[in-house]
Each structure stands twice: as C-alpha cells, then as structure tokens.
Amino acid sequence: MLRLAMMMIYASVGFILFKKRFLTNDGTKELGKLLLYIILPCAILRSYIIERTPEMTQGLATSFLLAAICAVLAIIVAKVVYRGRSPIEEFGAAFSNAGFIGIPLVTSVLGEEAVCFAAAFVAVLCILQFSYGVFLMTGSKSAISLKKIVTLPVVISFLIGVAIYFLPFKIPVFFTEILSTVADMNAPIAMLTVGVYFAQVSIKDMLTKADVYWVSAVRLLLIPALTGVLLWALPIGSSTMKLVVLIQAAAPIGSSISVFAQLYDRDYKTAVEEVVLTMFLSVLTMPVVIGVFEKLL
C-alpha cells in the first residue's frame, strides 16, 4: 500500500510538471523511450545476476511457464468478456502493466531477488502484445512482425539476462551497481508519464463512462481473482514465485495501450482514460487481491 501511495505521488509530480509546461508530450515520449530501451532492460539484466543453483534454475523455468499460463488466461478472459466487440477494452483487460508497475511492486514486497521471476512475465507479455495484441488492434495477421518481436528491448534483455545467469564467472560488482542504479529509476519515471496522461484527461468525462469502469473491474478484479485461483490449483512453483505472478497479473492496464492506440488509429482518449482510472483504482484493489491470496499460495 505504501509503495502504491509513493507511485501516486510520482504521478502527481508528472501531473504538475505537465500543467506547468515543464514537461511536454514530446518530453514524455522521450521518457517512454528511456524506460523501454534503457531502464526496464537494466532492471531485467540486474535480476539475473544471482547465484546459480539447481533449485534456482528450475525456478526460472517454472516462473516462465507460470507467466505464460497466466498471461494466456488473461487473454482468454478478455476475449470471452468482449468477444472482439471493443479492441481497446479487450487489449486493456488482457495486458497489465507488469513491467513499469509490477516490477517495482515485486521489489518492494518480495525483495530484489524475486525480480528474476518477474522478468519472465514481462518478456511473455511483450511477445504477446506485439503478436496477439497487434492482431487485436489491426484485425490482420500480416501486421505481426517477427523481426519486431525478437528485437524488443525487453526480450533481448531477458535472453541476455538468462545467458548472464549461466556464465561460469561472476559479473563485476561495479557493473551490478550501475544496473541497480538505473533500474531504480523505473517506478519514478514510469509514474511521471502516467501523471502526464492524467493531466490530459477530463476527469468528468472519465468518471461518467461505464465502459471504463467495466474494463477496470475486469483488469483489476476478475482476472487477478481467476489468476489467484489458478495459481493456487497448480501444483508447480513456490509461494514466492506464484505471488510474483499474481502481483503482475493484478497490476493496472499497461501504458503501452496508448502507444498502440496511436499507432493503429484506435481511440487514444479512451485508452488513456483506462490507464489513468485503473492506475488510481489499483491502489485499492491490489492490496485486497494480494492480501486474500497471499496466505493461500
């Protein structure tokens, strides 16, 4: 709860900076590139600089499997709820902000050593966004680019991170410290951009749209609850690993939806409203979801 409150403070700073014109839309786009190409990859790389043991190796493989299962579950639930009627809402419900929000929360709740499990979820989510997500937005399989998928910074950093994990020697401490310092920028800068989104939204319009509340309920309550039940029923994975996946599955709508909406001429305004509302509602829903399932997993 405290970590989420801190994130709201960061978002408030972004809101004020935009309103005072110290931060522009162009500046926000540059921050987004910094997050995608530098900060999040550094967080992923840092998470794999850990001691290699048979138990940890098995855990990393299991975490990837759990991430894939739960990510597909979210897509199926979104598909059943929306049945292709609203690509923006379906995309928002299916894909959480597992990287920019999920990883800082995992670090806060479970410690930095648990981030390696979170990295798998982020990689899986990015692959699905640029494959199924692109198809959802365009309605065309030809729009999917394998080249784009394999060259995603998150996917590349995930693969390099796994390779680092298997290296027969230790990475120098100064390199690890550099990665940690950059990775710590994840939450503040990500939330600054959310604050800018909030500054561009009409609160009155957002709060009077039933569709935005509905997608918030699906993303923040229905999917996390079903994910929690599924994780509880699955006989694989440790409690820590399952809690990592649950935290990421319970995260609000990813800000990437606004990027996809602009790129594929979808309703950008609605996309931003979904990001903003789920972000603020998640302060209430995530502690409840995590609290309910924490003792069961």
Residue ranges per structural domain of the chain: 2-291
Supply the pLDDT for residue 208: 87
As given in the structure block, the two tokens for residue 141 are 């399989």
d(CA 253, CA 275): 5
d(CA 122, CA 182): 18
d(CA 43, CA 39): 6
Amino acid identity at 15: F
d(CA 71, CA 151): 21
* Architecture category of domain 2-291 in CATH: Up-down Bundle (1.20)
Supply the pLDDT for residue 57: 92
Supply the pLDDT for residue 142: 84
d(CA 282, CA 234): 26
Supply the pLDDT for residue 104: 86
Supply the pLDDT for residue 162: 92
Contact 101, 252 (CB under 8 A): yes
d(CA 253, CA 271): 9
- For the chain, 297 residues long, give each residue's pLDDT as a single digit of tens: 667 778 888 889 999 999 998 988 888 888 888 988 899 999 999 999 988 899 999 999 999 999 999 999 999 999 999 987 889 999 999 999 998 888 888 988 888 888 899 999 999 999 999 999 999 988 888 888 888 888 999 999 999 999 999 988 888 889 999 999 999 898 888 888 888 888 888 888 888 888 999 999 999 999 999 999 999 999 998 999 999 999 999 999 988 888 888 878 888 888 889 999 998 899 899 999 999 998 888
Question: How far is CA 87 from each of CA 16, 18, 81, 128, rounded to the nearest angstrom?
Answer: 31, 29, 11, 15
Question: How far is CA 99 from each of CA 41, 117, 202, 209, 253, rounded to the nearest angstrom?
Answer: 10, 12, 27, 27, 11
Which string of DSSP letters, residue by residue, matches the chain? -HHHHHHHHHHHHHHHHHHTTSS-HHHHHHHHHHIIIIIHHHHHHHHT-S---HHHHHHHHHHHHHHHHHHHHHHHHHHHHHTTS-HHHHHHHH-B-IIIIIHHHHHHHH-GGGHHHHHHHHHHHHHHIIIIIHHHHHS-GGG--HHHHHT-HHHHHHHHHHHHHT-SSPPPHHHHHHHHHHHTTHHHHHHHHHHHHHHTS-HHHHHT-HHHHHHHHIIIIIHHHHHHHHHHH-S-S-HHHHHHHHHHHTS-B-THHHHHHHHTT--HHHHHHHHHHHHHHHHHHHHHHHHHHHTT-
Supply the pLDDT for residue 63: 93
Supply the pLDDT for residue 262: 80
Supply the pLDDT for residue 206: 86
Other beta carbons less than 10 A from residue 262's beta carbon? 12
Contact 196, 255 (CB under 8 A): no
